[in-house]
Amino acid sequence: MHILNEHTIRFNEVFDQYFSPLCYFAERIIKSREDAKDIVVESFQKYWLRKEDFGAPAQVKSFLYLVTRNACFDFLKKMKMTNSKSTDFPDLFNSDMEETAARLEVEAELLRKIYKVATQLPPKCKDIFQLTYFEGLNTAQVAERLNTTTTNVTSQKSRALKILRIALAADKKSIPLLILLAMDF
Amino acid sequence: MPEAFHDYDHLIFLYLKQELTDEQERALNAWRAASEKNNELFEALTNENSLRKKLQSLHEIEGIKESSRALLLKRLFPEAQSEQVKRKRISRRSLATAAAVVSIFLFAGIWIASLNRQNKETPIVLSEGQQPNTDLLPGAKKAVLILADGREMILDENEHERLVEKDGSEVINANGILSYGTSPRKSKEAIYHLLQVPKKGEYDLTLSDGTRVKLNSESSIYYPTVFDGKERRINITGEAYFEVAKDAGKPFIVSVNGVEVKVLGTHFNVNAFANEEKIKISLAEGSVQVTTGSGNAVIKPGEQASVAANGKLEINPNADLDAALAWTSGYFIFRDADIVAIMQQVQRWYDVDVHYQDAIMQRFVARIPRSVTAADFFRILEATGWVHFKIEGRQITVLK
């Protein structure tokens, strides 16, 4: 049960937007989903304590990525100190470190935008798109899961792709994403 | 230098959308050329298989989101949690009573016709011996009001309830209408309420300025108890019909998913369900101005504005207003509607999940009271012979 008032609505808006991409970002740096989740939960607490300091929404985003990144770096340093022989953690402590994190932020933010578009598809298309692209099922598995025929899945899938493309773009000459996504047929 | 990376996700997103300007394309190419790793990232994010794996990984994370939200809400809003325990139940209507009320006596008013792109309407009267499926009753008046302090009140039409907010405004729930008094506000800070209507519900609301709002299933409205700024601004999700009280000095603004509808006094409907492709604004009276990220337009009575996910605004001068507004007078009206559009409304009003086994190519014309059970609703459509429904609990399968 969610309790909603002005504050919790504001909190939930930011949480809904950034929780998953931030976890993805942190997990890619520290290679552990569980620890990434803990770090991101801390990041949201830090954000909320300082919520009055932010003006534009972009500042909130930058802040969240920055504190998450720093916490991940601290986490890696600690792991390295306590477990110096471990090869599980790549030697990221070099000049590339910040650039690597910046690239991962680009990746996480792009995925966030695509994910958002995909969740706004009409229900049937969305089911098929999500089973295919988020859960990695093939056409036959999707048909079985949705209790429908493969032909229907294929036609809905092309509809989903079409709508996704329309959502992503208006009529332009090159259609890279569509072509890439359609290679699966 | 992290600054150098700023907004490259946006450029790659625009690249996927094929919306890069020449200048942006040069910037993106320069970034790719600047380092091999940048280029690798670009390739990985625009290649189907690797993008698919990354999306899957993000999707898995979505699965652990709610437990983290709960943890954070508990840590950050401890007071709201304790209020929640004390939350007040105004009344709960027994479903058994509803089952008795909703019966089959409304069938005389039901007609349905099918058409092959012509408006040939054939009335069909159903026989009365059939048992309604009591598991799939239609919606009724119900909603949850969430007060500024987080307390929840469950509303329905059987209870009368009155409360006074800490700003002095009086809130009354009676006969399925929630209304706000016009008393001047005592405190400085605006107090906001949130009215949420679940699936299988609808509710009426009269705001403090006298504006009347009808909320459809799976919809919500967020509004101040008193409007005392320069404008009257509210937020909605889902679908709502407005009869705005005239007040030329204070424009009434409905804000929905980045789209703003601005009015001075008028009757109109906003349909903005997350699972519909477009936000639709239908105007019955007066005039409204619709503003999106990409522009604005003034619409006149009888017109319908639609806003696509990309912000594109279109005006349909010959909108079917009867169909768009039918729900406000207790009907479903379909004219030349495909089965998917019909089932979108069904899943909200009867709270069912819809699956398709066959594609139904025909289009339907029908006028059906919202008070019939789902089983009766389906029987009406089945009378065309074009479509059949398999009902298993809340799971509905559409077949030829």
Please judge whether A111 and B54 are an interchain contact, meaning their C-beta atoms are less than 8 angstroms apart: yes
All residues of chain A having their beta carbon less than 8 Å from the beta carbon of residue B57 are: 24, 27
**Window A:86-145, CB contacts with B under 8 Å:** 98-103, 105-115, 117-118, 120, 122-124, 126, 130, 133-136
**Window B:302-361, CB contacts with A under 8 Å:** 308-310, 312, 340, 344, 347, 354-359
Q: Which of A20, A147, A155 sits opposite B355 (nearest CB)?
A: A147
With 90 as the cut, is the pLDDT of residue A64 above it? yes
CB-hemisphere CA count at 13 Å for B24? 16
Both A111 and A125 in one domain: the answer is: no
The fraction of chain B above a pLDDT of 90, given in percent, is: 14
The number of domains in chain B is: 2
Q: Is residue B44 part of a domain?
A: yes
Both A172 and A106 in one domain: the answer is: no
Per residue in B187-241, pLDDT (tens digit) is 667 788 889 998 889 999 999 988 999 999 989 999 998 888 888 999 888 899 9
Q: Is residue B249 part of a domain?
A: no
| Beta-carbon pairs below 8 A across chains A and B | 193
Both A83 and A129 in one domain: the answer is: no
Both A92 and A127 in one domain: the answer is: no
What mean pLDDT value characterizes chain B?
78
Asked whether the ipTM of the predicted complex exceeds the cut of 0.85, the reply is no
Both A90 and A167 in one domain: the answer is: no
Domain, as residue range, for B27: 2-62
Residue B67 has what pLDDT? 86
Please judge whether B222 and A9 are an interchain contact, meaning their C-beta atoms are less than 8 angstroms apart: yes
Output the furthest CA–CA distance in chain A (Å, rounded): 56
Per residue in B194-209, pLDDT (tens digit) is 899 988 899 999 999 8
Both A81 and A136 in one domain: the answer is: no
CATH number at residue B377: 3.55.50.30
Q: How far is A82 from chain B (nearest CA, A)?
A: 28
Both A164 and A133 in one domain: the answer is: yes
| Mean pLDDT within B88-104 | 29
Domain, as residue range, for A147: 120-185
Q: Which of A11, A98, A135 sits opposite B76 (nearest CB)?
A: A11
Please judge whether B84 and A169 are an interchain contact, meaning their C-beta atoms are less than 8 angstroms apart: no
Binning pLDDT at 50, 70 and 90, where does residue A145 land? confident
Q: Is residue B293 part of a domain?
A: no
The number of domains in chain A is: 2
The CA distance from B155 to B194, in Å, is 12
Q: How far is B117 from chain A (nearest CA, A)?
A: 23
Q: Is residue B361 part of a domain?
A: yes
Q: Which of B38, B61, B150 sits opposite A20 (nearest CB)?
A: B61
Q: Which residues of A146-169 are buried (b: 16+ CB within 10 A; e: fewer)?
A: bebeeebbeebbebbbebbbbbbb
- What DSSP string describes B285-335? ES-EEEEETTEEEEE-TT-EEEEETT--EEEETT--HHHHHGGGGTEEEEE
Residue A22 has what pLDDT? 97
Both B104 and B52 in one domain: the answer is: no
Please judge whether B356 and A152 are an interchain contact, meaning their C-beta atoms are less than 8 angstroms apart: yes
Both A132 and A75 in one domain: the answer is: no
Both A143 and A180 in one domain: the answer is: yes
Q: Are A76 and A30 in contact (CB under 8 A)?
A: yes
CATH number at residue A132: 1.10.10.10
